[in-house]
Structure 1
Amino acid sequence: MVVNNLLDVDEEILMESQTQDQTPTKIVEVLEDQLGKVELNNEGIYEEMTHNLAVQARSFDAAQVSEEDMTYISFISESNENSVGAVEVLADGVKIPDAANVSIALPNRISDDIKDNNMTDFRIIVIVYNDSRLFQSAQFINDSSGRRPNSQVISLSVPGLDRVELDEPIVTTFIPIEISETNRNTTCVFWDFVLDGVGGWSTEGCTFVNGSEDGSDRQYCECTHLTNFAILMDFHQLSSLPPAADVVTIVGLSISIASLFLTLLTFVSKKKFRKSEPKQILCQLCLSLLGLYIVFLAGIDQTEDKNWCTFAAALLHYFLLSSIFWMSVQAVKMYYLLVKVVNSHVSHFVFKACLFAWGFPVIIVLVSVFIDHNSYVYSAKYCFLTLQHMYYSVAIPVALSLLFNMTVFLLVLHSLSQLGKNTNQSRGKETRRSGMLMLKNGVTITAVLGLTWLIGFFSIGDASEVMLWLFCILNSFQGLLIFVCMCWK
C-alpha cells in the first residue's frame, strides 16, 4: 500500500527525491526484497493488486521445470485504462491477450542457472507498475528528441540470481501508453540502480526485436538479465506543411514527369543523340527519375495495405538510389572524356554502367528488407524508410556519391582550365566550351538531385518547416530542370 501511494505523488517531488538520495528506487529494491521473503499460500503463491501496482511471488521446483516440455514461463498483466491488472501465468503456447499491456517470458533454461547455484527450488517475483514514476531519471531532461518512458514497467526477479547473465534471453512485450504519430524509435531498456551513481535507464543487454515505428502495436524486446523493464520512445513534434504543399508536390511532379518524357523523346528522335554515350546515360537517369516520381505519386500514401506500402517504399528506395548512381556514372563518363582523354575508351561502358546503377541498388534494398522489412513503413501516413534506417541505407550512399561526383567535377574543372590556356587552337576552345557546358549541367543536376535529398534529413527541429518546403519544391521540379539544362535552346 505504501508503494501504491507513492505512485500517486507528483513526479517533480519524486525526481527531486531520486536526485538527492534515490529514495524511490530504494523503495523498489525493498519491495523486491520483501516479496522474496513473504509467506506463500498452500499453492505456493502470494499476490496483491492495487490500481497502481500488481505483484505476484510464485514458487517453482527446479527439477519440475527442467522436465516439463515448455519453452517459456510467461506472465501477463491485463490492464484497464486507469489501473494495472493482476499478474497471471500464461499457459504454454497461448497467445498474449490483446488486453495485456505488458508481458514477460522467462526461458525454462533458467533451471540450468538454478542448478548451477545449487538451488532445489526458486521463487519468481513479478511486479507491474502502472507507470514509471518510481523510476525517475535526469538523463531525459535535456534530450531534444523528447525521449521518455512510454509503457508500464514490469519487473521479474529470482532471489539469488540478480546478477546472472542468461544464456537465452527473456522476452518482454509492451503496449505503449501513448500511441501517436509523434512517437518514434522504440528502445528497450532496464533500470540500472547504480547508473551514474543515481540510477537510470540503460540499454545494456536489451534489444528491440519487433513492433511498429509509431507504437501502434505490441513492442517486443529481449534482455539477457533480470530486472525492471520498460520501453523508451522519442516524442518528436512532427512538423506538417499546409495542404498547399501537397498541391505543389503533385503539380511539380506532374510537370517533371512530362518534362522527362519530352527529354527522352528528344534524345530518341535524334540519331546523333542515340549514338552518344553521355546522352544514353542521361536517358537512363531520366528513366530512373520517372520510376521514382510515378511510384511516389501512386504509392507514397497507400498505407491501408501494409504489403503494398512496403513494396511501394522499397521501389521508391530503389529508384532513388538508382538515380543517384546514374549521376555518378555521368561523372565517370565526364572524367574519361575531359580528364583522362588518352586511352579513355572503355568497351561496353553503358552496359557496365547499367549493371552498377540498376543492379547495385537491388542489393542495398534487399539487404534493408532482410534486416527489417518493417522499416519501410514510416508512419500511418507515408510509405518510405523510417528515419533511423534512412541514415545508413540512403544518407550514406547519397553522401558518398556526392563526394565522388564533386571530386570528379573539380578534376574536370582543373583539366578545362589547363586546356583553356592554349587559346591559339580553335579546337581547344571548342573542347573547352563544350566541356564547360557539360560540367555546368552535371554539377547543376547532381547538386539539385543529391543535395535536396540530404535536406530531408534536417527536417526535424525549429527549421523543420523551411527545410520541408525546400525539399518539397526542389525535388518536385527536378525533371523540369533536366529538360531545361539538356534540351532548351
Structure 2
Amino acid sequence: MLFSFKQQHQILKEANTTEAVEAAVDELKSFVKSSTNLTVDAVTELVDFVSNVSKRAKDKKIKVTKNIMVAMVEITQGIKENGRFAFAPGKNISENRKNKEKLVKAVTALAFEVEIDPNEATFEITAGSIQIKVKQYDGTDFPKLQFSPQTTKDTAVKIIVPEAATRQAWNNGNTSSRVKRETTTRRSAFLYYSDDTLFYSDKNATSVLAAEIGEPVMNLSEPVIIQHKDDVLKYGKHPPSGESLKVLQTKLKCMYWDFNLSDWSSDGCCLNSENPPECHCNHLTNFAIIVDTANVPKDVALSIVSTIGCTLSIIGLALTILVHAVHRGVRKRRPAKILMQICCNLLVAYLVFVIGVERTSNPEACTFVTVLIHYFMLTTWCWMAVYSYDMYMSVVKVFRSSKAAYLQRVAAFAYLTPAVIVILNVGITVGYFDQNKKNEQLCDGVTDPLPISTYRADNMCWLKEYSLYFGFLLPVGILLVCNCVVFATVLREITCKKLEVQTSAMERTNKQTFLIAVAMTAIMGITWIFGYLMLFSTDVTYLRVMSWIFAILNTLQGFGIFLLTSMRSKDLRNVWWKPLRSAVSNTSTTWARFSKSTDEFAVTTSLTQQQSTMTNSK
C-alpha cells in the first residue's frame, strides 16, 4: 500500500486546492483505520503527509476545513493505535523520535489554522485519546484562558493561562506576520493527550496538556498553572488503596517537552505539591507531570522478628544492669562498672530504635531519632573498647591506678569521641549539604514532603550512604580491629608467657574477664560484619538474606550479653534465680493451700446440706 502514499504526495504537490487535500485525507483516514499494524515506512510517510499539509496551511496555500482537521486528528489517533510495531521501544529510536515530534508540531499548527464558524467561535474534537479545543476572540481584550478536557478517568486536568501571557503574545509590541493578518481576531488552541505515546521518552509522564496562543511566550510575570486533580498524584509517602503491607513513595516533577532536546525538561517550571498538585510554568508548550513512584514492600516477618529480638535484648540488658547493681561484690569491680556502662548505652539505643526507627512521617523527629541511635551505638562500641583496654592494662601491664581518675578519663573518651563524630557528621550533612540542596522542582515557599537528606535514610530513621560509611562503619571497624589486636595480645600473655599473678582467684578473674570480652566483641562484631557484607552487592536475594541475618543478630545482642554475664556466673545467677525460684515456690504453696481450703469448704458444705435434707425428711 506504500504506492498510495506516494500518489497522495504527488497529488498534494500538484494541487493547490483544499478539495484535493480533503480527498487525500479521506483515503488515508480509511487506510489507517483498516491497518492493524503499521510499518516504520508507513508511519514515516503518514507523518510526512500530515506535516506537509500543516506547512501549506500556515503558508495560506490551502484552508484547514473542519473535515480536514477531523481527518487529521483521526489519522494521528490511528497512527498511535496501529503504529505499535513502528513505535516499539528499541526500534528505530531516532526515526521514532523525529516522527513523533513532527506529528505533534503538525497537529498543533493545524489546530491553530482550522476554520471556525463565526457564530460559534469555537471548534472542538475528540478522537480516542486526543482532544482539541480552539477558540476565537474578537476585540482588544486580553482574557484569562482556561481549558479542562473531558476524560473518562477519575482525573481532572486543567490549564489556566493568565492575562499576562495573552497580552504578551497578542499585543506587546508583536509585529509577526500572523498578528498583522488578524489585528482584531485572536485564537487559543488547547490540545490534550491522555497518554505520552507521541512523546518519545523513558520517563513516566502522565497525560500531556498543550496550550498555543499564536506566539512563543517566555518569562511570564504570572505563571501558567496546570492543575492535576488525581488521587494517584499524591506527593509523599502513603499506602496504596487497599494495601497495608506496602508503602508508596511518590515524587512529582513538572516538565515540558523541549523540541530542542527531544526530551522532557523542567526549565521554568516548578511544582506546588499541595493537594491537588499544581505545575507553575513561565512559558507555554506541551506540559506533563512526571511521576516517580517507588513501591517499598514491608517485610512483616522481618519486622516481627526485629521487634521480638529487640524486646528480648531490652529485657536482658535491664536484668543485667539490675543484677550487677544488686550484687555488692560485683558492682564494686571496675570491669563490672564498665560492663554496666555498655549495657546502659545499648539499652538506650534499643529503646530509641523500637520507639522511633519507623517515625519517618516527621522529618525533624526522624533526624533526632537517627542522631540518638547513632550516638548511643557509638558510645556502646567505645565502652567495648574501654572494656578491652582495661583488661589489657590489668592482665598485660598489671596497671594499678586511682579508680576515680581512671574511670573519668575513659568516660571522657567513651562519651566525647562519639559526640564529636556525630556533631561533625550532622553538621556537614544536615547543616551544610541539606541546607544547600534545595529541591529545584518545587516552587518557592513550598515545603518538600520528601526532603532529601544526606544524613538519614528515607525509609527508616537510620544512617545512609556516606554518613553510614564514615560516621559509623569506619569508627566501628577501627574499634573492632583494635579489640581483636588486644585480645590476641592478652591471649598470648595468658597462654604462652604464663603471667605471674598474685592469687589463683585473680587468675580466674582475668580469664573470665577475657572470655566475656571476647564473647561480647564476637557477638557485636559478627553482627556488624554482616552489616559490612550488605554493602558489597545490590542483588535483591543477597540483600534480603543478609538483612535477615543482620537483623536477627543485631536485635539479640543485648540478650546475648545477659546470657554471658548473668547466666554464666553462679554468683550473679543466684541474684535473680533465687528470688524467682522463691517466688514460684511461694506461689505454688499458696495455691496448694488455697486449693486445700477450697476442697475442705466444699466437703463441709456438702455434709451440711445432707444433714439438712435428712432433718427435713424426718
TM-score, structure 1 normalization? 0.64
Give secondary structure in 2 for the equivalent of 1:132: coil
- The match for 2:375 among 318, 325, 328 is 325
> In structure 2, what is the equivalent of residue 149 of structure 1?
204
2:158 aligned with 1:103: yes
> In structure 1, what is the equivalent of residue 43 of structure 2?
none
How far off its partner does 1:286 sit? 0.7
**Inter-partner Cα distance in structure 1 for 2:325 and 2:414:** 16
- The match for 2:474 among 391, 400, 403 is 403
How far off its partner does 1:266 sit? 3.4
Give secondary structure in 2 for the equivalent of 1:54: strand
**Inter-partner Cα distance in structure 1 for 2:340 and 2:190:** 68
Amino acid of the structure 1 residue aligned with 2:200: Q
2:556 aligned with 1:477: yes
- The match for 2:197 among 133, 154, 178 is 133
**Inter-partner Cα distance in structure 1 for 2:223 and 2:532:** 40
**Inter-partner Cα distance in structure 2 for 1:113 and 1:249:** 62
Please tell me the root mean square deviation across aligned C-alpha atoms, in Å. 5.5
> In structure 1, what is the equivalent of residue 354 of structure 2?
293
> In structure 1, what is the equivalent of residue 520 of structure 2?
441
- The match for 2:315 among 258, 269, 278 is 258
How far off its partner does 1:486 sit? 5.6
**Inter-partner Cα distance in structure 2 for 1:454 and 1:187:** 34
Q: Say if 2:249 and 2:295, in contact at 8 Å, map to a contact too.
A: no
Give secondary structure in 2 for the equivalent of 1:14: coil
> In structure 1, what is the equivalent of residue 107 of structure 2?
31
How far off its partner does 1:258 sit? 2.6
Amino acid of the structure 2 residue aligned with 1:289: Y
> In structure 1, what is the equivalent of residue 151 of structure 2?
79
> In structure 2, what is the equivalent of residue 11 of structure 1?
84
> Within 5 Å, which residues of 2 pair with 1:183-332?
184-188=249-253, 189-195=255-261, 199-203=262-266, 206-207=269-270, 209-210=272-273, 218-223=276-281, 225-233=283-291, 248-269=305-326, 271-272=331-332, 276=337, 279-294=340-355, 310=361, 318-332=368-382
Give secondary structure in 2 for the equivalent of 1:119: coil
| Larger RCO (CA under 8 A, 6+ residues apart) | 1
CA spacing shift, 1:335–1:252, aligned 2, 3 Å:
closer
> In structure 2, what is the equivalent of residue 90 of structure 1?
none
**Inter-partner Cα distance in structure 1 for 2:380 and 2:369:** 16
> In structure 1, what is the equivalent of residue 125 of structure 2?
48
245-254 vs 322-331, greater mean Cα deviation: 245-254
Unaligned runs of 5+ in 1: 82-98, 141-147, 212-216, 301-307, 377-384
Give secondary structure in 1 for the equivalent of 2:409: coil
277-286 vs 128-137, greater mean Cα deviation: 277-286
Q: What is the aligned length?
A: 428
**Inter-partner Cα distance in structure 2 for 1:268 and 1:62:** 91
Unaligned runs of 5+ in 2: 1-72, 180-185, 234-239, 394-404, 440-446, 502-506, 569-618
Q: Percent identity?
A: 19
Q: Say if 2:169 and 2:213, in contact at 8 Å, map to a contact too.
A: no
**Inter-partner Cα distance in structure 2 for 1:64 and 1:457:** 66
CA spacing shift, 1:165–1:244, aligned 2, 3 Å:
same
CA spacing shift, 1:154–1:260, aligned 2, 3 Å:
farther
Amino acid of the structure 1 residue aligned with 2:312: I
How far off its partner does 1:235 sit? 6.4
How far off its partner does 1:283 sit? 0.5
